[in-house]
Structure 1
Amino acid sequence: MGLRVCHAAAELAPFAKAGGLGDVVAGLSRALGRAGHDVRVFLPFYAPIARLHFPFNLVEFLRDVELQLGVRRFRYSVFTTRLPDSTVDAYFVHCPALFHHDSIYAPGWDEYLRYALLGRATLECCQRMGWAPEVIHCHDWHTALVPVYLRTLYSWDRLFARTRTVLSLHNLGYAGNFGAHVLPELGLEGSAHLLHQEDLAARRMSFLRTGLLHADFLSTVSRTYAREIQTPEFGFGQDALLRARADRLVGIVNGVDYGEWDPARDPHLPHKYSPKGLAGKGRMKRALLERAGLQASERAPVIGIVSRLTAQKGLDLLFDVLPDLLSQRDLRLVALGSGEARYESFLAWLQSSFPGKAWFHRGYHEELAHWIEAGADLFLMPSRYEPCGLNQMYSLRYGTPPVVRRTGGLADTVELWNPMTREGTGFPFEHFTPEGLRWALDFALQVHQDPEAWKQLQANGMARDFSWDRQVREYEELYRRALA
């Protein structure tokens, strides 16, 4: 029997997406809908959404709803449309006074009001619909107050008597921290005993920490990351609380939308291929090298990078490793990304220092990202930490073995190639050092010289299934565990 599942989130692709969160909420919602569950998603109606070509319909009984936040009075209406390629309805909270900015995460003093309103509007929409969700799935700090609201402002309503909450941690580095002076406007001034007392003593409050205290279950986006965030190194100051709630914390690897990322039907690729026939991958390699203006060579391996250029992505390791590698070996480097100036400058320097061997495209380009996944021989992802990661799973499907740091979701999805058993899918390395990365790249380049071993390695990776239809079963189990 299907469950009634409500998602509350700041992002939902393709309507509002700043990173991976929007893809995850969309992919999980679609999969739950296909599995027969009644799924509804609530998010803000950001100003840029109005410019999208979707049939947004006003929900008449959710027009001009008044909501008091402390001394401030707001009005919102709700629009709805179907999440593409799904049976799921998305509901957009339209409050121009708060969501009038030209970007999703616009800085401003009123950020706490925006997401307090989203959380409360989600619950009040359920009330006005007469729809009793069995699970409210909150995502990151933006909707992390929903569990405490159910225990306080909405505890009177029997509609939510059986409702249980799950809080997913996609990015623990953002916690929604504000001064304690916001409590009256959040409606929590009379519920201070339910908040984190050390925070209150320091005259602050945290949306995320409040959610960690009160959600019935916590989830994050890989099993290894669920263990890592209970340590000071990865816990961003939340590790003690996460250890205290370890019996309610689960790790579930994100799914991949193979409708968008599959070399057999990828609309971005001029040459398609599949595990049964890899000729198209060779043609994609030649096309990629030509597009990048690099020297064509069938034997020289191509290393691909598609990344945000930040310290989290482990790019500091490249400074000591890539110049030596490019000078000593016949290989090619194709990199796509943008971010911190020092990394952009380094990749641009590689291009100028190794003409014909290295190429860097500053920015993001969707088609080029698909070309790199298809045309590269190796995909490089040496993250310092990685809650889940998606590109390594794309790479496996595209027959492009990944070289990754053994952390978070990378540890859960990439298995070390074993030349004796011919098992494994890539080249994870343990220690976050230049030596660790150099070991993994040397190993990968050695295996690449053995065509039969390389074909088996590619076949192993392409056979892995990280589809949402597979991963959703773990969420169904989590929901039923919460309801037990």
Structure 2
Amino acid sequence: MEKKRILFVSQEIYPFLAKTEISHNARKLPQGTQENGKEIRVFTPRFGTINERRHQLHEVIRLSGMNIIIDDKDHPLIIKVASIPAARLQVYFIDNDEFFKRKTNVADDKGADFSDNDERSMFFCRGVLETVKKLGWKPDVIHCHGWMASLMPLYIKKIYNKDPHFADTKVIYSIYDHKEGFESSWDERFHEKLKFDGFDEEVTNLVKNPSIDAITKAAVTFSDGVVQGSEVIQPELQQVFDEASCLKLNYLPEEHLTKGLSEFFDKVIEEGILIQ
């Protein structure tokens, strides 16, 4: 029987960035999923705070070189890789000098969110999908962690849904109690940028006010499964989780998470309702 393929897409991964609930899960879950007999790939942004020399990142020339258009502007896509030897994991990094070569990750040194975080998320999600296509690797499930990956369900269900490479791909979104880089709403023109990308009003109307609550609700609306990633999440996000019509996995402590999530992957693959 062919192994199921799980694509992990995370805003941050330990040890490349500091240990948080998201970065820890994004480090442990792919390893556990692989050990449970599934095939995995892992993607994350190449933030400027990641020490390339220490972690031995190197560019993959055959995967780099594409331009991704965001809001009618070309942005070169650079792909880098590094390994976590202890976990037998290879991690792919989405890079672009304009979006990611900064001294901080999602907010400036005074704590103000970067004004282009919406475009950085768009570039990241599209960069992942285009790179996976180049790899010739068809994921059964894409599991998203952190708001930087929140647009992935929208792209899979509304833009890449006619692409044979992703025709049967299901998407799972994990909701965390983590707002870093999303203290304020995204650019008020965000819905116009999505329209330029080809999204219809079903999507753009959901994010006319692009707050973290609205973005999370949009992500869950177009997901096949949703996971409560933190034991306690903000009331507004808890409401989004509780009202979700897709398959749901309640919070699981770490000792039960890998096994529970592996079973959830199987359930979503077998029973998840594909949103057209």
TM normalised by structure 1 equals 0.50
Q: Give the direction of change, closer, same or farther, for the CA distance of 1:110–1:179 in structure 2 (3 Å limit).
A: closer
Q: Flag the 1:247–1:98 CA change in 2: closer, same or farther, 3 A.
A: closer
Asked if the contact 1:141/1:174 (under 8 Å) is kept, the reply is no
In structure 1, the residue matched to 2:72 is 71
**Are 2:16 and 2:51, in contact at CA under 8 Å, matched by a contact in 1?**
no
Structure 1 partner of 2:263? 477
8 Å contact from structure 1 (residues 139, 168) kept in 2 = yes
Distance in 2, Cα, partners of 1:154 & 1:136: 13
Look up the match of 1:211: 219
Are 1:80 and 1:90, in contact at CA under 8 Å, matched by a contact in 2?
yes
Question: What's the secondary structure of 1:477's corresponding residue?
Answer: helix
CA RMSD of aligned residues (A): 2.4
Work out the CA distance in 2 between the residues paired with 1:172 and 1:16. 15
The one-character-per-residue Cα deviations of 1:220-250 (angstroms, maximum 9, x if unpaired) are 136x64xxx6xxxx422x4544332166221
Larger radius of gyration: 1
In the alignment, what sits opposite 2:63?
62
Q: Identity, % of aligned pairs? A: 18
Higher RCO structure (Cα 8 Å, ≥6 apart): 2
Give a deviation string over 1:334-373, Cα, whole Å, max 9, x none: xxxxxxxxxxxxxxxxxxxxxxxxxxxxxxxxxxxxxxxx
Q: Structure 2: how far apart are the matches of 1:140 and 1:89?
A: 20
Q: 2:189 aligns with which of 174, 181, 191?
A: 181
Unaligned runs of 5+ in 1: 256-465
Equivalent in the alignment of 2:168: 162
Bigger CA drift: 74-83 or 204-213? 204-213
Alignment partners' CA distance in 2, 1:25 and 1:39:
12
Offset from partner CA, 1:129-177 (integer Å, 9 cap, x none): 1110111000122111111101222122111111100000122656953
- Confirm or deny: 8 A CA contact 1:172 1:235 kept in the other structure: no
Matched, 1:121 2:130: no
Specify every segment of 5 or more residues in structure 2 that has no aligned partner in the other structure, as ranges: 108-112, 271-276
Residues 6 and 143, structure 2, Cα contact 8 Å, conserved in 1: yes
Query: Whole-Å Cα distance in 1 between the matches of residues 96 and 151 of structure 2?
Result: 19
Paired with 1:14 and 1:45, the residues of 2 have a C-alpha distance of 13
Q: How many Å apart are 1:36 and its aligned residue?
A: 2.5
Change (3 A) 1:74 1:123: same
Rounded to whole Å, the distance in 1 between the matches of 2:245 and 2:53 is 42
Are the structure 2 counterparts of residues 471 and 20 from structure 1 closer, same or farther at C-alpha, using a change threshold of 3 Å?
closer
In structure 2, how many angstroms separate the alpha carbons of the residues matched to 1:178 and 1:47?
Answer: 21
Report deviation, 1:4.
0.8
SS at match of 1:74: strand
CA 1:254 to 1:61, structure 2 compared with 1: closer, same or farther past 3 Å? farther
The 1-side partners of 2:190 and 2:205 are apart by: 15
Q: What TM-score do the two structures reach when normalised by structure 2?
A: 0.84
CA distance in 1 between counterparts of 2:205 and 2:145 reads: 20
Q: Is the 8 A contact 2:138 2:166 kept in 1?
A: yes
Counterpart position of 1:95: 96
For the 8 Å contact 2:159–2:198, the answer to whether it is kept is no
**Amino acid paired to 2:128:** T
* 1:67 Cα deviation from its structure 2 partner: 0.3
Q: Give the Å deviation of 1:196.
A: 5.1
2-structure distance, mates of 1:170, 1:210: 15
CA–CA separation in structure 2 for the residues paired with 1:29 and 1:475: 11
The aligned residue for residue 20 of structure 1 is 21
